[in-house]
């Protein structure tokens, strides 16, 4: 009975569906070794048009990417709260027939936010993003090339 020398690779199992919060996360910038660059969502694959290397963002651990997404969401809370507060002030002003008063309060709140708190907030956000890990991906096509090349 003849046996094949090279084992036939088993078909990769279908990956489980990604959580919605991950699918809508920030894009990942992939730099190809030839210099091309592409921004991909988590879970996307990209075949470089210049050199043919194939990159998959699924090499990034899901927990690690979820950490990035959590930092992004955490730093959206204050701007959202300011927006909701501003809208409530305008609605309250209109309902109380003091629209001008509501607008003045909104103007004061937004000025205070942008002058004093936003720079601190942005600095903290940049620091938090800088503390996150970066990832080095391996092109998938190299794996396939190495696996397909005969032993020397
Ligand atoms: Zn390339």
Output the CA 53–ligand 1 centroid distance in Å. Answer: 6
Domain ranges of the chain: 28-60+135-152, 61-134
Three-point CA angle 12, 13, 14, nearest 5°: 115
Confidence of residue 4 (pLDDT cuts 50, 70, 90): very low
Residue 37 CA to ligand 1 centre (angstroms): 8
> Average pLDDT in the 117-122 region?
92
Q: What are the pLDDT digits (tens) for 30-75? A: 999 999 999 999 989 999 999 999 999 999 998 888 888 888 888 8
Give the pLDDT of residue 11: 54
pTM of the model: 0.60
Tell me if 143 sits within 8 A of 63, measured CB to CB.
no
CA of 141 to the centre of ligand 1 (A): 11
71 neighbors 128 (Cβ within 8 angstroms): yes
Res 95: pLDDT: 92
Instruction: Name the fold adopted by 28-60+135-152.
Output: Rubrerythrin, domain 2 (2.20.28)
């Amino acid at each position: 009975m003849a046996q094949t020398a090279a084992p036939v690779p088993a078909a990769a199992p279908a990956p489980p569906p990604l959580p919605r919060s991950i699918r809508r996360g920030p894009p990942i910038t992939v730099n190809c070794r030839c210099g091309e660059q592409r921004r991909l969502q988590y879970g996307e694959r990209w075949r470089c048009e210049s050199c043919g290397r194939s990159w998959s963002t699924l090499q990034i651990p899901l927990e690690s990417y979820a950490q990035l997404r959590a930092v992004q969401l955490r730093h959206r809370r204050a701007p959202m709260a300011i927006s909701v507060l501003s809208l409530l002030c305008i609605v309250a002003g209109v309902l109380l027939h003091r629209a001008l008063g509501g607008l003045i309060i909104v103007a004061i709140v937004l000025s205070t936010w942008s002058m004093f708190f936003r720079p601190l907030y942005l600095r903290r956000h940049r620091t938090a993003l800088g503390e996150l890990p970066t990832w080095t991906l391996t092109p998938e096509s190299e794996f396939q090339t190495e696996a397909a090349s005969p032993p020397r």
